[in-house]
Each structure stands twice: as structure tokens, then as C-alpha cells.
Chains A and B, each alone.
Chain A
Amino acid sequence: MTKLNTKPITVWLTPSGPNPWKVVLILEELQVPYVIESFRFNDVKLKPYTDICPNGRVPAIVDPNTNLTLWESGAIIQYLEEVYDTDKKLTYESLNKRQLLNQYLHFQMSGQGPYFGQAGWFNVLHHERIPSAIERYNDQVKRFLEVLNTCLEGKAWLVGDKCTFADLSFVPWNCRLDMLLQTPPGEDPLAKYPNVQAWHHRMVDRPSWKRCMEVRDKLMDDQGLMPNGMPKGINNIQEYEAEIAREAAEKGKE
């Protein structure tokens, strides 16, 4: 439960990427007040954002209650859980269970995010078709989902008997699977992984995630972004990268 005098946490994000929504989802679940500082992907590696996150990646938060600036979505989730989840809604008391939650959060962070991201790059964004790279990352995505399916065998949730921050951390990237793998319309990319599929559906039906997606739609619209994250009128990643480079050069001149 949040204390009455909690000041809103600022979440810095570009709306298109999956990672910021892991953090917003936790804030929604815990009912912690927050404000979103939505900015353009073009500015992610420029000041003032790099003063907040030197890695030039989203999300980052600034918490005025503790005067802490933090980046890396996994670290932010752990922080929010420790400071704001006083009722243990999405976590547990027991050290044993907390370590297992932490393990799965790291599995999301080092397994799902990087490999899904590279699969998306070579399947969708990269201009040249490189079959061996596509195969490598598609196989890794499949392998990852198989492992997750095994972890969920006979269980509704990854750890214990309730939905936790570890479960929720997998939602944003799994929501992107159809796009990353270019799944034909009407097909569910999770169909081969029934445990993952059922678990994923239980989570996307939560009001917190629906709210995240409403906010995302609005922020995407504010910036004139298409569902693939690129501005309207830009046809592919090369055009987008050229546009970003041109803008950065202009800003350099100022």
C-alpha cells in the first residue's frame, strides 16, 4: 500500500519499446502514483536523457520520495517491490521464494529480452535477409519458450500460488512475439507452448495490463507512431536511422 503523501514517480520512456511497460505494469499493480515523461526514440541517446541514463536506453525512473534516479528495468522493478509493495501483493516474505523470483527476473532480463530483441531485428528491421542469423535467433526464441513451458508445468504461476512481479515481467515481450516472428494473422505464436499460453492470457486479461496498453496507444498516437514503432511516413529502419542521424547532426550544429 502506498503512503498518502507519496509523490508521483517520474517514468522516462519512449512508448514503442517493450521494456518500459514492465515498469509501468508494476506501478499500476501496486497503485503507486506516477507520471510519464514520454519522449521520442530519436532523443534516447541525447541529453537530457543521457544525464538520467548514461546507457541511452529506456526506461529510467526518478523517485522524488527517496531522491533516487535508477535505470535498467529489472533493477527498477526490484526497487519498487522493496519500497512500495509493503503488502507483498506481487512478492513473498520468505527469502527462499524471493530468491526464486529474482532468478526468474534475471532469466527474463538476460534470456527473453536480448534474444527476442535480436530475433525482431533480423526478422523485421534489418534490411538484408541473413538466413543463418534469422535461424539462430528464431531457434533461441523457441528454446527459451520451451524452457519457460517446462518451468510452468503443472503450475499456474512461476513461484508459489499467486501472480508475482516475476510472472508479469515476461508479459511485454511475449505480447510482441507475433510481430517479432512475423506470425501469420490468426495464428498464436504461443500455441505450441500451452503452459506459457494459458499463463500469458491470465496476465494480459488483468486490468493493469489493459490500462498500460491504453496509455501506450495514446502516447504512440501523440508522437504519430505506427504499431511497429516508427513514425508515419517512414518506411523502414534505414530511413528511420538516417532521419535520427540527420536530426542529431542538426542539433550538434546549434
Chain B
Amino acid sequence: MSQPDITLYTCQTPNGIKISIALEELGLPYKVEKIDISKNTQKEPWFLEINPNGRIPALTDTFSDGQKIRLFESGGILTYLAEQYDKDYKISYPKGTREYYEMTNWLYFQNAGVGPMQGQANHFVRYAPERIEYGMTRYTNETRRLYGVLDKHLASSKSGYLVGDHISLADISHWGWVAAAGWAGVDIEEFPHLKAWEERMAAREGVEKGRHVPSPHTIKERLKDQKTMEEDAAQARQWIMQGMKADAKH
């Protein structure tokens, strides 16, 4: 195993904490560079050198050939960490096993389904400058449908995790999103198995450590207070709309 020389470029979002949770579960040393997305730091040239897509998370490491490797896309980074550093299969499964492919299956389900759809729900429920009932319903319902798929799958899981007999990338990639369900207008109480899984995950030491990177993870507490939530949304709405305008100019 090569010596890790990892720098994680991140901020407090469901996608960012996937990586810090994985790093904590693996017990790897890493440096953190906080990216301020409210100041559009992720669109600055130095960051675009690391991730041309201008999104967090991104990660750099010294690769086994001695050269620097730059990675983006949370799913790509998680797979890299597992292949490079998870020799004891703490958060993954050996290549070629059924569990390995099933883990990849749920990892894509998160990256192509839950993340994008819940993200759109967040947009229409919290950030859009005008209230578009149809947009809100469309994406909240699709998120609920996807949660239903997870809930049904977890109902029959013997280990309480999505794949096999222990935690894996499949669970890690979902947790931050499910913990923030209320922000997208989805009531987690509708999904008892998923709710129990979320709490089981939250009780893990690695999840607890990783979720507070680079700043405290407070979404669960904030969701309990309607007023703070509205204020947070109003503040975020402002810089998100500015960012969208800046993107559109290119």
C-alpha cells in the first residue's frame, strides 16, 4: 500500500461529506481545503485545474507512480479510495464478488438517481426565486419514489446495510442525502427502514467524525426549526441564483 498524501477539497454538503466519512471509516490521514461555494471559489482557475467541472468534492493524492493524481466526482473518488487503500475491505468488497458489483449498482443509483433528483427538489423547494408548484412536486415525488426503493431493499437486509454483511460505499454515498431529506420536502417518517438505517449509520464513529468536515454538520438539528430553515434557504438562494447567472454567461 502506498503512503497516502491526500488533500480533500470540500464544503459542508451531502456530496462533500461522503468523502470525509469514507476517509474516517478507513482511518486515513488527510488534509482538508475548505472551498467556499458561496464565494464561487470552486470556479477559480486553480480549482478548475483540479476539477474542470467546478464542483466539490475533489481530491488530490500522490499516486503510486510518484506523480500527483487529481480526481473529481464523488463516486469516482470513493472507488479510488477503496481500490487504493481498503485492503481489508472495511468499506468495500473484493473485486469479482457479487457484493462488489451490487455495491457499484447502489453507488450509481445514488449518483445518477438520489443525488440529482433530491438536488432538483432542493432547488425548487428551497432556492428557486419563484414558487413553481409543479417543479416542487415533480422532484419531491421522484425523491420519495427512490427512497421507497431503498426502504423496501433495506426491509429485507439481514445486516442492516445496503449490500452484504457490513457498511460499504453504497451506504456512505447515500447517508448525507438521506440525513437531509427534510430540506427537500421529504418526510423520513414515511420510510421506517430507511430511517432506522440512517440512525444506524449516524451511530458509527467514522460517520460521526466525517460528517463534520470541513465544518459542523447541523442539518438534522436545523430541520427541526422551521424559522432557521427558511432563513438559511433565503441566504443560500441569493448566492445560488448569482452562481447560476454567472454559469449562464459563459
Q: Which residues of A contact B (CB under 8 A)?
A: 54-55, 57, 68, 70-75, 78-79, 82, 95-96, 99-100, 102-107, 109-111, 113-115, 118, 126, 128, 130, 132-133, 135-136, 139-140, 142-143, 146-147, 150-151
Contact = CB atoms under 8 A, between A and B. Distances in A.
B65 to A, nearest CB: 7
B111 A75 contact: no
Given A55-B146, A75-B101, A103 B72 contact: yes
Which 5 A-B pairs give the minimum distances between C-beta atoms? A114-B116, A103-B76, A72-B108, A106-B73, A106-B75
Contacts of A99: 69, 71, 76, 79-80, 83
A68 B130 CA distance: 47
Interface of B: 52-54, 63-65, 67, 69, 71-77, 79-80, 83-84, 95-96, 98, 101-102, 104-109, 111-113, 115-117, 120, 123, 128-130, 132, 134-135, 146, 149, 152-153, 244, 247-248, 250
Contacts of B107: 75
Contact of B128 (A102, A113, A132): A132
Q: Name, among A99, A114, A140, the residue most crowded by chain B CB atoms within 10 Å (CB to CB).
A: A99
A232 to B, nearest CB: 27
B73 A107 contact: yes
Contacts of A78: 101, 104
Nearest to B74: A106
Nearest to B112: A109
A125 to B, nearest CB: 11
Contacts of B64: 95-96
A136 B124 CA distance: 11
23 contacts: A55-B109, A55-B113, A55-B149, A72-B108, A72-B112, A74-B112, A96-B64, A96-B67, A99-B69, A102-B76, A102-B79, A103-B76, A106-B76, A107-B72, A109-B112, A110-B75, A110-B115, A113-B112, A114-B120, A136-B123, A136-B244, A147-B53, A151-B52
